[in-house]
Structure 1
Amino acid sequence: MAGGTDHRLIAGRYELSTLIGQGGMGQVWTAYDQRLDRRVAVKLLRPDKVAGAEADELRRRFLRECRVTAQVDHPGLVTVHDAGTEDEDLYLVMQYVDGADLGDHLAEHTPYPWQWAVAVAAQLCAVLSAVHAVPIVHRDLKPRNVMVRQDGTLTILDLGIASVMDTDTTRLTHTGSPIGSPSYMAPEQAMGGAVGPYTDLYALGVLLHELLSGDVPFSGSTALGVLHRHLYEPPLPVRRLRPEVPEALESLVLRLLAKDPQHRPASAQDVYEELAPLLPGRSVPTGHPLDPTRPFLRPHAPWPDRAATPAPAPQTGPPGPARGQDVAAAVDEVKRLLGEGRITQAVDTLGAILPAAAAQHGEHSPVVRTLRKQYAATLMDDGQYRRALPELRRLADQRAAESGHADPQSLQFRYEAAQCLEQLGEPAAALAEYRTLLPYYENQYATDDIRQSLEIRRRIGQLLLALGDRSAAHDTLGRLVLDAERVHGIGHPFPAEIRRTLQWLGQVRG
């Protein structure tokens, strides 16, 4: 049906024009924004296309993901203009990108010049560096999700949509297979393990291999066959097919395609630094912010160490005692903003009022403790895990100092901190935190504590998969499914999902 036309009006302003793409997740249309008289792209997703997903939950996650995605400010990402629901559809309105997708670009230029491949990868690293700093994991990086614009710059599409279409870290569909494109799927993603920035770097390695050699490193007649090769076969070094490719570039591709995430480059920033010497020569900028020469001196470079420190809390008013007098009013304002779903604005208000509240009432006062708990929870809900992590750790330490390390509230803060580490792509640190927490919950007899211990064990299994320890992961999940069935019942979704993961692991391992 690609190329079809329609004149349906979405949200009273976006008139659909031509169908330009469709797949398992929905359709993409060119459209016209009647209010601003401009061409846009509209992606329509149907909740009923996702087996077993609750429509209301899907809508909530879709809108949250669109909001988080819209926070990423980078010229290499398609701009999100609007999002919402229309009848049975979820819609996402995006900037219309004039150009060709990278798959078509490769097909029209074979063999693809290796210098072009380096420039493509360097641009993608700049985008991924910004995306991973949020943190967001794309999960489905492939040539069809990359547009080459007329001026040669690249734009990444479909950021965050893959995570919206499935509810849990495993990213398994209800038929037991992982969401994504098998040819570009990292081993940990194929096994249903925890994903992170390292997952996108593997897909970047597949994409680079394809640009240099003309084909993906692993192909096959079935998805299972392809995923099995990702897990167990070494990729063919590209210089055997293209001797003119520099050795340094071949080495980088092989490290990006490492089976174990810990053997891949540490970050998109590090990959860019390895690609930089292969790019056309430029002088090095000073590194000062707002340096207008930087785009010319080092085009598309990511900001160094951008992901290393939390973003400062925005200041929405003057600090000090004058601001402190408005604490009560700010609390009411935060409640109103949260009630209206304006989470980002609530985060900014809380971040600005906390120093004034601490100065007025004292850091350990009930009002400051309540504000800090709300701030951490709202940061989590807004996807700002890097900023939430130190707040949660502070809350956990304060509570443990007062009530002991087994205090339920302190344990909950530590659990949420482990979730932050997981989302930030630090699987080893998250695994260590979950393992430390687990005994506290296993020694309890309350139903909620038992269920929490089961959830922690599930996360441990998924993180073991992400770290490449498949045997330990299989043992962990195998013991877990029996305990989960005793607690929840055999037909409950929780043990059923773990059984699907184990069955899929058995297929892939076999």
Structure 2
Amino acid sequence: MERLHVGGMAHIWRVTRDDMSPPAILKAPIVQDGDDATAIVSFEMEQMILPLLTGPHSPRFIASGDFSKKPYIVMERIEGESLLSRIDHAPLPVAEVTKIGIGVAHALADLHRQHVIHLDIKPSNIMRRPNGEITLIDYGLSRHDLLPDLLAEEFRVPIGTGPYLSPEQIARDRSDPRSDIFALGVVLYYLLTGVRPFGYPRKKAGLARRLWRDPEPPHSLNPECPPWLQEVILHCLEPEADKRYATAAQLALDLANPEQIQLTERAEKFSADSWLVARRRWWMQKFSPSRFTRSKASRRASAPIVMAAVDLSEANAPLAEVLRETAGRIMKTAPGARLACVTVIKTSRLRLDSPQDEQGANLHVRRLVDVRAWANDLGLLPEQVTAHVLEATDPAAALIDFARENHVDQMVIGAGSPIRRTIGPTAARIGAQAPCTVTLVRLPRPTDLAPEGEDVETEPDSGFGI
């Protein structure tokens, strides 16, 4: 047993046992007479939440002991280092900041899907495994949507790390997952500029300023910051939660596709908002009724990522039209939704395919143009739509992987030709394996393709891009 760290609320030990491999971490709260009860309550919260979490973005729970004897939590030891080690090297290159942002956004999306808001996102709580995957640690200040929030019930002050607290946390609302998006925006700003966007306030008045004040634009501190990254960071740091990214999944999708980010006035700012704009925000937050009414589930339901798997081959043109109509109807039910339009170029396993079409144009670019044209007829706002061309030997696997990696909530896909009696194998496999709701779309079966009582010949679904 080796002590690794003494924090403000707990001791961290490296522990081993004959029947336990590899070594684990034991966390024990610091409990002394007269101490602030926050350490005890936050430890209780982590004991409740950590065993419920699954996946690589949180440490694996091993065991725990309660306060009747000796309180402790034993969990997986994450090999790797925290982002705290990179702070001294800030400002970091844009490519590294972007990669970190994508990883943390994916981790947050996974956490939010499990009904948990972290509420203490900061460099020391963000770990990078040797394979580059992000793991979030320290759930003492977190909230689970289906468990009692002991911190909210027992304390009447903002709880968290000052520089990273969201405006709603300062207003003592712990129910909004967009608080984690705000904190991630602070982290990205800090890594990109070497400066905390709101300093390090220690008093309530200093904390409260971010309810109505925005930070200096990152480009004013780091001229290497491209407009699209300033757009993303300031979008995360909006004082009003409703103006931020609706979900971490949408944020990850933008960071992974910077060329498709729709730039607004945020991208062009060279200074913080005027005192008049700040005054208006101050007035609104002071005299408006509480905005904190919806649960995480309802917020996510209003801002899903919808994926349209589009086959634009000439033979499937009628089906593509029906697919577009279906996608349009789905998007109308959720005004905050994002539509990812995806098509697949099927390649051979030997990679001998020509990158050009019959007219000599780049096939990937041609497909991208075609997908964008297909999406344009939906009449959606540009910031609601992204277009993606995948190249894969297995179209079904590529579509399933895209849905999983981008936290897609619903996929819409054509089920095949109207003359086929069964769903083709590509659509059937996606329906069985996709990590989301799948809507299969097909043309109405025509009644005049074959005489009554006569069988119709069927053929297997060949997949996308043939």
The alignment's TM-score, normalised by the length of structure 2, stands at: 0.53
2:408 maps to 304
Instruction: Work out whether 1:29 is the aligned partner of 2:10.
Output: no
Structure 1 or 2, whichever has the larger Rg, is 2
Cα distance in 1 for partners of 2:15, 2:36 equals 29
1:105 maps to 86
Contact 1:122/1:275 (<8 A) preserved: yes
- 1:268-324 Cα offsets, whole Å, 9 max, x none, are 111011101249x996388x99938977x89x93421189xxxxxxxxxxxxxxxxx
2:98 maps to 118
Q: Residues 226 and 81 of structure 1: is their aligned pair in 2 closer, same or farther, counting only changes over 3 Å? A: farther
Q: Residues 83 and 289 of structure 1: is their aligned pair in 2 closer, same or farther, counting only changes over 3 Å? A: farther
Cα distance in 1 for partners of 2:116, 2:185 equals 19
Contact 1:210/1:217 (<8 A) preserved: yes
Cα distance in 1 for partners of 2:213, 2:113 equals 31
3-state SS, counterpart of residue 71 of structure 2: strand
Match of 1:94 among 75, 82, 92: 75
1:235 maps to 215
Contact 2:143/2:175 (<8 A) preserved: no
Q: Residues 273 and 38 of structure 1: is their aligned pair in 2 closer, same or farther, counting only changes over 3 Å? A: closer
Q: Residues 143 and 172 of structure 1: is their aligned pair in 2 closer, same or farther, counting only changes over 3 Å? A: farther
3-state SS, counterpart of residue 21 of structure 1: strand
1:76 maps to 57
3-state SS, counterpart of residue 275 of structure 1: helix
Over the aligned positions, Cα root-mean-square deviation in angstroms equals: 3.7
Cα distance in 1 for partners of 2:8, 2:45 equals 18
Structure 2: state its 5+ residue gaps. 260-363, 365-387, 412-466
**1:167 Cα deviation (Å)?**
6.8
Q: Could you tell me the percent identity over the aligned residues?
A: 24
Match of 1:264 among 244, 252, 259: 244
Contact 1:162/1:179 (<8 A) preserved: no
2:390 maps to 284
Contact 2:162/2:201 (<8 A) preserved: no
Letter in 1 for 2:129: R
Contact 1:163/1:171 (<8 A) preserved: no
Letter in 2 for 1:143: P
Letter in 2 for 1:68: L
Cα distance in 1 for partners of 2:37, 2:29 equals 15
3-state SS, counterpart of residue 291 of structure 1: helix
- 1:324-348 Cα offsets, whole Å, 9 max, x none, are xxxxxxxxxxxxxxxxxxxxxxxxx
Cα distance in 2 for partners of 1:54, 1:224 equals 20
Letter in 2 for 1:22: V
- 1:438-473 Cα offsets, whole Å, 9 max, x none, are xxxxxxxxxxxxxxxxxxxxxxxxxxxxxxxxxxxx
**1:106 Cα deviation (Å)?**
2.7
Cα distance in 2 for partners of 1:158, 1:60 equals 12
Cα distance in 2 for partners of 1:79, 1:285 equals 35
Match of 1:185 among 165, 180, 186: 165
1:44 maps to 28
Cα distance in 2 for partners of 1:63, 1:197 equals 21
1:216 maps to 196
Q: Residues 133 and 220 of structure 1: is their aligned pair in 2 closer, same or farther, counting only changes over 3 Å? A: closer
3-state SS, counterpart of residue 245 of structure 1: coil
- 1:396-475 map, 5 Å: none
Cα distance in 1 for partners of 2:42, 2:160 equals 18
Q: Residues 126 and 227 of structure 1: is their aligned pair in 2 closer, same or farther, counting only changes over 3 Å? A: same
**1:225 Cα deviation (Å)?**
4.6
Instruction: Work out whether 1:200 is the aligned partner of 2:200.
Output: no
- 1:482-501 map, 5 Å: none
Structure 1: state its 5+ residue gaps. 1-15, 308-510
Letter in 2 for 1:118: T
The alignment's TM-score, normalised by the length of structure 1, stands at: 0.49
Cα distance in 1 for partners of 2:218, 2:60 equals 35
Cα distance in 2 for partners of 1:172, 1:228 equals 21
Aligned length: 281
- 1:85-127 Cα offsets, whole Å, 9 max, x none, are 37654222111122221011232x3320111111111011111
**1:66 Cα deviation (Å)?**
2.8
Q: Out of 39-48 and 201-210, give the one that drifted further.
A: 39-48
3-state SS, counterpart of residue 98 of structure 2: helix
